[in-house]
Structure 1
Amino acid sequence: MTPRGSPAAGPEPSTCLFEDRLAGRSLRLLDPVARIAVHRRDELPAAWDAIESARRAGHWVALLLDYELGEWLEPGAADPADAGARDALPRLTALVHARAAWGACRGEEGPDSAGPADRTDAAGRTERPGSAGGADGMQRPDGGRVPDGLADARGLPWRPDPRPGVSRARHAQAIEAVRAGIARGDYYQINYTLPLRLDWPAGLDPARAYAWLAERHPVAHAACVRDGERWVLSLSPELFVAREGARLRVRPMKGTAPRHADPAWDRQAAEALQRSVKNRAENLMIVDLLRNDLGRIAVPGSVRVPALFSLEAYPSVWTLTSTVEAEAPDAPLAEVLRALFPCGSVTGAPKIAAMRAIRALEARRRGIYCGSVGWLAPDGDFSLNVAIRTIELRGGRAEFGVGGGIVYDSRAAEEWEECLWKARVLNPE
């Protein structure tokens, strides 16, 4: 574990902004005091202790959890060659801050536009705005907004020009390999992904790029986080897990269809998605997986599914989302992550077999993509997204992952096209 940020040395500058652009509110973490980075599995216990100590001291913590952290949390999914190895890049990064401020996401009028003032108390804790949606704050879209404290999003001269990091032929081979594994009974579903490389102009401010994208694609679990030279710009619509008091909530998103400019076609696409046997099967498999994961830490009998196959509209896609809740008053963050991470919607089912297959089939590590970005509050509440629709920028190199659930009925050509239209979130038009 690499702790940094003593009062003498001071941590590197950071940006930690979390937004629910559907409800119109934001959370900014302020006054960084420490950085905790985990490069080896045996560093995890000390890291959990340090994070918990920071929380109990009244600090707020931003969390960057790479997908591959799951191989350290679930021994059955680990790569045997990985035992004791030190990763060059951390799989868990915790950015500790002295205080935080809740505020409104403000419109294009700029930082002086009207809106509720940020609210913090003298001790650095915040008064959290009330929300009918709970800790995850999921609401219906109410238009694009620009974040507090970041650059205005208007007129950004940028075309990401996403390019697949694997060939179409290799993608097709992987899909057929997944189908063969399903036929053998190795697993029921695999979430297969591929990286897209993005053009990133040398002078482009990542905070401005985030604002520009988030204005056009408002979601409930957006984040803009800087950790040294690394930036994570997340436009995720999917909640991984949130705690509010004793209650845990997960909202897996499985089943996606493109939007259409023609209203009649658009409605037909939505109705077809909600009727789709394939997409419902994918969604239900993950709901069952997450019910089982939550059951490992929940009060017996408290796991329930208040919403199944909910249809949600976003600027470029329709999605099917379900909600699973449980009571787990005594489970700290580390225990919750050991039970649930990574989210079943980005692995497949059964989870351990799916994670092994993903490691064997995918071209490279996922990194933050399909991992999680979120925050931990001093009172123990937290909110973590599923880091889909997320740009990771490091050293001038930008990547954006895409993928989808593969079942036996999947066809490689259709899955390839789905990956490409999922990247429309980057479209500047």
Structure 2
Amino acid sequence: MVGSARFAGIDFADIVESVDLKRHPDRLQNGTWFVVATFEGTITGWRFRHTTPSIPSDNAPHKWRGPAPGAWASSMDKKSYCAAVETVRAHVVEGEVYQANVCRILSAPMPAEPDAEALAALLSAGNPAPYQGYIQVPAGHGSDPIWVVTASPELYLRVRGARISSSPIKGTARTPDGLSDKDRAENIMITDLVRNDLQRICEPGTITVDPLLATEDHPGLTHLVSTVHGALATREWARILAETFPPGSISGAPKEAALAIIAKLETAPRGPYCGAIGVIDADRDEATLAVGIRTFWWEQPGVMRFGTGAGITFESDAEAEWAETELKAARLIALASGGTVA
């Protein structure tokens, strides 16, 4: 059997096909699909012959062999990233944007295609996350190749019949005491943006927020999380994705203005990082899609990548924002490079 994946309590095995879901959205009318959307806007679905409830993997974490700790390079160094922060602050002063997420991509050479399931098992043990999973489909088997491993803490969309919810994360610190007024204001901005996105696809008057500004502890850090709920007015997956993508927490507000600024400032494509990763079960009108953060992806010509970023507002301190990107990356890069963290 070729290809495997795991997400949301489902194991997938033996690839059948892959489909460009932007060109062929009608394929989402039936079947169970593992979906990866890139930040740049491609949406691809993979259908597997076998889907079964997840069982503990016998592909032990010790089987993983990753890049050396010193092999990682950043698409933006500290000086460049801090300059980008100041540029966003200047756009805020001009009234063009309230917030924009600025990211950088870490890359390390890894010539041979690695074992995605082994890294997923390692992250599950060392950095458990609510939306962890992986997909690996090698090239040369009639489907689009893909290699992604995620330990995402963030829910992009959950659909259960007519109900939809989204849980944007904004605000990160080592401990709850480190969360600031800037973090809370940032979270409220993005929560309002997500409310506006969901209003386009939900019945009028059904949008609620509960909880607002909850704290969630994850390995090595704490996040502020709010959850937006609504009753869907449409069951068309293509429209649901089009009206909500990319997720507000990794773009900014207003979304279109933030995306334009991001395109000018960032020097490497984000790919599945800051996109969406998860499962759409069209037969049951259900979906669980995570925001593609805390995510590794491998691609030819033999490079492992990992993204990290921060939301920038007028109150941002450039040095602190750089430190936040370091904090978000540190534990996972350490695990992927050596299998242990301090």
TM-score normalised to structure 2 length: 0.90
1:405 maps onto 2:311 in alignment: yes
1:16 maps onto 2:9 in alignment: no
Given the alignment, which residue of 96, 101, 110 partners 1:191?
101
What is the aligned partner in structure 2 of residue 386 from structure 1?
A: 291
Relative to structure 2, which stretch is displaced further, 363-372 or 200-209?
A: 200-209
| Structure 2 SS opposite 1:215 | helix
Separation (CA, whole Å) in 2 of partners of 1:227 and 1:194? 26
Q: Is the 8 A contact 1:31 1:97 kept in 2?
A: yes
| Structure 1 SS opposite 2:121 | helix
Q: What does the per-residue CA deviation read over 1:259-318, in whole Å, with 9 as the maximum and x for residues that have no partner? A: xxxxxxxxxx31331xx2100011000000000110111111100001011111111111
Q: What does the per-residue CA deviation read over 1:73-126, in whole Å, with 9 as the maximum and x for residues that have no partner? A: xxxxxxxxxxxxxxxxxx22111234421234x3xxxxxxxxxxxxxxxxxxxx
Q: Is the 8 A contact 2:64 2:115 kept in 1?
A: no
Q: What does the per-residue CA deviation read over 1:359-418, in whole Å, with 9 as the maximum and x for residues that have no partner? A: 111112211110011111121211110000101101220110000100001111111111
| Structure 1 residues 155 and 14: alpha-carbon distance in aligned structure 2, compared to 1, 3 A threshold | closer
Separation (CA, whole Å) in 2 of partners of 1:202 and 1:228? 11
What is the aligned partner in structure 1 of residue 53 from structure 2?
A: 102
| Coordinate RMSD, CA, aligned | 1.9
Give the C-alpha shift of residue 169 in structure 1: 1.7
**Structure 1 unmatched ranges of 5 or more:** 1-11, 20-25, 39-43, 70-90, 107-147, 259-268
Separation (CA, whole Å) in 1 of partners of 2:206 and 2:154? 23
Q: Is the 8 A contact 2:215 2:225 kept in 1?
A: yes
What is the aligned partner in structure 2 of residue 221 from structure 1?
A: 131
Give the C-alpha shift of residue 164 in structure 1: 1.6
1:180 maps onto 2:131 in alignment: no
Report the residue type matching 1:379 in the other structure: R
The alignment of Structure 1 onto Structure 2 pairs a total of residues equal to 325
What is the aligned partner in structure 1 of residue 189 from structure 2?
A: 285
Q: Is the 8 A contact 1:248 1:325 kept in 2?
A: yes
Separation (CA, whole Å) in 2 of partners of 1:168 and 1:423? 14
Radius of gyration: which is bigger?
1
Given the alignment, which residue of 161, 169, 172 partners 1:253?
169
Given the alignment, which residue of 159, 164, 178 partners 1:243?
159
Separation (CA, whole Å) in 2 of partners of 1:64 and 1:204? 19
Separation (CA, whole Å) in 2 of partners of 1:199 and 1:37? 28
Q: Is the 8 A contact 1:213 1:426 kept in 2?
A: no
Given the alignment, which residue of 310, 313, 327 partners 2:217?
313
1:30 maps onto 2:13 in alignment: yes
Report the residue type matching 1:17 in the other structure: R
Separation (CA, whole Å) in 2 of partners of 1:29 and 1:203? 19
| Structure 1 residues 199 and 314: alpha-carbon distance in aligned structure 2, compared to 1, 3 A threshold | farther
1:152 maps onto 2:141 in alignment: no
Q: Is the 8 A contact 1:198 1:400 kept in 2?
A: no
Q: What does the per-residue CA deviation read over 1:327-377, in whole Å, with 9 as the maximum and x for residues that have no partner? A: 005332111111101100000100011111111111122111100111111
Q: Is the 8 A contact 1:187 1:354 kept in 2?
A: yes
How does 1:55-74 map onto structure 2 within 5 Å? 55=30, 59-69=31-41
Report the residue type matching 1:337 in the other structure: L
Give the C-alpha shift of residue 184 in structure 1: 0.2
Q: State the identity as a percent.
A: 32
Q: Is the 8 A contact 1:68 1:367 kept in 2?
A: yes
| Structure 1 SS opposite 2:204 | coil
**Structure 2 unmatched ranges of 5 or more:** 140-145, 335-339
Relative to structure 2, which stretch is displaced further, 155-164 or 372-381?
A: 155-164
Q: What does the per-residue CA deviation read over 1:35-77, in whole Å, with 9 as the maximum and x for residues that have no partner? A: 1136xxxxx3x4101232xx1xxx21111100111xxxxxxxx
Separation (CA, whole Å) in 2 of partners of 1:234 and 1:214? 10
Separation (CA, whole Å) in 2 of partners of 1:319 and 1:67? 22
What is the aligned partner in structure 2 of residue 359 from structure 1?
A: 263
Separation (CA, whole Å) in 1 of partners of 2:54 and 2:116? 21
What is the aligned partner in structure 2 of residue 92 from structure 1?
A: 43
| Structure 2 SS opposite 1:175 | helix
Separation (CA, whole Å) in 2 of partners of 1:13 and 1:157? 21
Separation (CA, whole Å) in 2 of partners of 1:206 and 1:28? 13
What is the aligned partner in structure 2 of residue 50 from structure 1?
A: 27
| Structure 2 SS opposite 1:67 | coil
Q: Which has the higher strand share?
A: 2
Q: Is the 8 A contact 1:247 1:329 kept in 2?
A: no
Relative to structure 2, which stretch is displaced further, 164-173 or 396-405?
A: 164-173
